[in-house]
Amino acid sequence: MNLTEWIISIMEQLGYFGIALLMFLDNIFPPIPSEIIMPSAGYSASQGQLLLTGVIIAGCIGSLIAAAILYWVGYKFNHDSIFRFVDRYGKYLFIKPNDVKKSLDWFEHYGHRIVFFGRMIPAVRSLISIPAGMSHMPFGKFMFYSSLGTIIWTTFLACMGFYFGENQELMQAIFSSVGYVIIAIVSVFCIWFLYRKFKHEA
């Protein structure tokens, strides 16, 4: 059984709870991608097995619970403790110390708004909550940005599966294009941020 078949079997057995569980794992365990989970759930909704709104709500709940837990980890444990844990156990979670460092660098350079964009970037989504907690970003503000990004991304993925689930080639083409669009938006934001920072210092 491959990963996609395993994800579908979990949803068939557990329904909305299975979707929430899988999206929770997506944020904790990067090799389980939301790009498979939510389109598969959306396709199930198109076949009448689930409701599209229920699929989206379940996916958001699972993601946000994971985000809150990772925020708490970052808030409670210091920099050295987290890196010691990743050095020792990260390989079992497919998380590299460099991935954590990259997320920290992004957060330090671009501030709280990167939490919103980070919810839509696969490699960053799983880790951006930790530096948010480490910096003691206000929890309400963290959850607000996380919720916005999560709702947009989860809804997009579920609708992709709902409307285009039978056309895998089209879905892959759209995912590829969206990836470039997100990178472009983040790049523009970063350039604007740096411009304002240097202008203010000047």
d(CA 65, CA 133): 14
Quote the pLDDT of residue 139: 93
Quote the pLDDT of residue 164: 76
Distances (CA, A) of 54 to 5, 42, 57, 154, 162: 21, 10, 5, 12, 13
127, 103 contact by CB (below 8 A): yes
Q: Please state the domain extents for the chain.
A: 3-201
The residue written with tokens 């995912």 in the block is: 175
Phi (first) and psi of residue 136, to 5 degrees? 60, 40
Tokens of 169: 């080639």
Residue-wise pLDDT for 116-146, tens only, equals 877 877 667 777 888 888 888 899 999 999 9
pTM of the model: 0.76
- DSSP code for 185: H
Determine the residue type at 178: V
- DSSP code for 138: -
Longest dimension (CA), the chain: 60
Residue-wise pLDDT for 169-194, tens only, equals 655 655 555 555 555 555 555 565 55
Extract the residue ranges of the chain whose pLDDT is less than 70.
1-4, 30-31, 89-94, 110, 122-123, 165-202
132, 67 contact by CB (below 8 A): no
Quote the pLDDT of residue 153: 87
37, 16 contact by CB (below 8 A): no
